[in-house]
Structure 1
Amino acid sequence: MTTRTLIPPARLARPRGRALYRTAFALVAGGFTLVFLGPLYWIFSGGLKSAQEAVRTPPTLVPQTFQPENYAQAWNVMDLSGLLLNTLYYAFGALAFQLVLDVAAAYSLSRLRPVLGKAVLGMMLATLMIPATVLVVPQYLTVLDVPVFERNLLNTPWAIWLPSVANAFNIFLLKRFFDSIPGELLDAAAIDGAPPLRVLWSIVLPISRPILGVVSIFAVVGVWKDFLWPMLTLPDPAKQTLNVGIYSLSSGVPANVLTAALAVASLPTLILFLLFQRNIMSGLTAGGLKG
């Protein structure tokens, strides 16, 4: 059975067809490359310019003055090391809470089948339709005075960790993967006398490494790139994240040093994606098909 394509294979086999296909592919691939890599080149090259060249109009495509010391100046003047440690602390704390609580929620919805489990899942997925900015005010009022406990969580890591746990998208991804695990495997463990927690720890989690890697990356990047929520809940400059700290110190810093600081702030997530892009794609597609 032949595969149907947009262009017939017989036409692609001709020299003219191959030339047109390669030209179209090169134009499309080159256009997308410019769209995605253009901003990265602009920010990293802007950190190498002088202060006058960084604000020049029209801007220069290639730096005329090469000043790599701008990155060292940004690291020292804006205290990027302290902001980086704060961000790592918040990001990996949110990762730990998400792995524990989101996995437990997804496993219970997938395998334990609680009463009204489908209704709970439906209400969780409905929250994905609500814009994130709409939830800022009620979330802020909640961390300002936590119900029942009557605690103020501002300027504490809990203000970042607790809202990040309620991630319906990650729970849905985990549940879909858990649904794809063969039931016979889990039934055999139950027959051998393994309780549900033992089945989760010894069987489900080792199989779920691809999707756990994806959820981990989403959790770290979600905290790393967030700006509005840390700015509201962490007013203390000593406890701010990287993005908020750079914004707070941007008023008295030259444009080239500020651009270098922004390049440093974007570098860790870029490296994370380049290292684990294959795991991200395999984890997102895992559990999509049964069989």
Structure 2
Amino acid sequence: MSRTLVSSTQLRRGRVLYWGLLTLVVVVFTLVFLGPLYWMVTGALKSGQEIAQTPPTLFPKDPQFGNYADAWNQLDLAKLLFNTVYYAAGAVLFQLVLDTSAAYALSKLRPAFGNAILGAMLATLLIPAMVLIVPQYQTVIDLPVLNLSLIDSPFAIWLPMVANAFNIFLLKRFFDSIPDEIMAAAFVDGASPLRTLWSIILPMSRPILGVVSIFAVTAVWKDFLWPLLVMPHPETRTISVGIYAFAAGTPQNVVVAASVIAALPTVIIFLIFQRNIMSGLTTGSLKG
């Protein structure tokens, strides 16, 4: 039996302490993250009196699944979900076309002052989003040059979403990991930069394109203040703005049920594509 500086008893105690602390931290953080979700799901099954009582109950005494049907009908969730999906699809399309083109140009075409342009774009990430609300809104109500108002127009959501410095940087880092020899071989074969992007770069970039698409969808889905300002008409509201607008005259348990329905699509998307998200975020960090 070999002798060490630490006895076997102390090692066992250290392992027990380590695993005990690790389990405690995991359980605490799990409760912190899942607690609001649990309250939302169970609150949607309670009656109006039960959800408002103090102290709150941990389990619904008489689960009322009809709250979901009431939320669907009273808040017109079908229309709100359609609007949100429509805005999210447009945001994905615009970001994939324009952000991918910008990242491809900065990564592979290397224009003059490309690093300065990238640095200026990344500097915008340091500006708080609330600071940009006023100039963006003034631009939307009176679009420069064209003198058009984009209020209640989907472009009021799509155009600000395009200028996403983080996604451009993410795409550029992925494109940087693609060997330049592939680009050189394509140019030797007579392929133009646009054809190289379409036929070679994009098929190799499906993981990161999926990540950018998911980010665009979740950004539109969870945004509240900007759609509230630029989509005031009931027919153009997003799901978050629509629930807020109807909350004042709707029972709280029905509003909570509507919130559960609104949250389900993004949760399902994350659970399905979580592996793709992690692989897309890490692949671009590997060179070669």
Short-chain TM bin: over 0.9
Preserved CA contact (<8 Å) 1:12 1:21: no
Matched, 1:85 2:82: yes
Equivalent residue letter for 1:285: T
Measured against aligned partners, the alpha-carbon deviations of 1:129-150 in whole angstroms (never above 9, x if no partner) come to 0000100000000011111111
Equivalences for 1:169-208 in 2 at 5 Å? 169-208=166-205
Structure 2 equivalent of residue 140 of structure 1: 137
Structure 2 partner of 1:110: 107
Aligned partner of 1:63 in structure 2 is 60
1:148-163 map, 5 Å: 148-163=145-160
Paired residue for 2:233, among 233, 236, 240?
236
Segment drifting more, 168-177 vs 22-31: 22-31
CA RMSD of aligned residues (A): 1.7
C-alpha spacing 1:105/1:155, structure 2 compared with 1 (3 Å): same
C-alpha displacement of 1:117: 1.2
Normalization by structure 1: what TM-score?
A: 0.94
**Identity over aligned pairs, percent:** 64
Q: Contact 1:106/1:175 (CA < 8 Å) preserved in 2?
A: yes
Tell me if structure 2 keeps the 8 A contact 1:12–1:18: no
- Post-superposition Cα deviations, 1:149-203, rounded to whole Å, max 9, x if no partner, equal 1111101111011110000000000001111111111111111111101110111
Cα offset, 1:19, TM superposition: 2.9
Distance (Å, rounded) in 2 between the aligned partners of 1:258 and 1:120: 45
CA change 1:199–1:244 in 2 (3 A) is same
- Residue 252 of structure 1 aligns to a residue whose secondary structure is coil
1:28 deviation in Å? 1.6
TM-score of the superposition, structure 2-length normalised?
0.95
Indicate the SS of the match to 2:144.
coil
> Shift in Å at residue 21 of structure 1?
3.1
- Determine whether 1:216 maps to 2:213: yes
In the alignment, the residues of structure 2 paired with residue 290 and residue 9 of structure 1 have an alpha-carbon distance, to the nearest angstrom, of: 42
In 2: Cα distance, 1:12 partner to 1:109 partner: 59
SS in 1 for 2:263: helix
Quick one: distance in 2 between partners of 1:32 and 1:176?
Answer: 32
Aligned AA (1:194):
A
Q: Aligned residue for 2:164?
A: 167
Per the TM alignment, residue 60 of structure 1 is displaced from its structure 2 partner at its CA by 1.1
Q: Structure 1 13/224 Cα, relative in aligned 2: closer, same or farther at 3 Å?
A: farther
| Correspondence for 1:226 | 223
Q: Cα offset for 1:12?
A: 10
- Please say which of residues 273-282 and 11-20 is displaced more in the overlay: 11-20
- Give the match for residue 96 of structure 1: 93
User: Structure 1's 153 and 45: CA in aligned 2 closer, same or farther, altered over 3 A?
Assistant: same
Q: For 1:196 and 1:22, how far apart are their aligned partners in 2?
A: 54
Q: Give the counterpart letter for 1:222 in structure 2.
A: A
Deviation of 1:25 (Å): 2.3
Runs of 4+ residues deviating >4 angstroms: 8-15
Match of 2:21 in 1: 24
Matched position secondary structure for 1:147: coil
Distance 1:246-1:10 versus aligned 2 partners, 3 A rule: farther
- What is the CA distance between 1:14 and its match in structure 2? 5.0
Letter in 2 for 1:161: W
Give the match's secondary structure for 2:248: helix
The unaligned stretches of length 5 or more in structure 1 are 1-7
Q: Distance in 2 between matches of 1:268 and 1:54?
A: 24
Q: Structure 1 residues 181, 251: CA separation in 2 closer, same or farther (over 3 Å shift)?
A: same
Instruction: Label 1:199 to 1:59 Cα distance change in 2 as closer, same or farther (>3 A).
Output: same
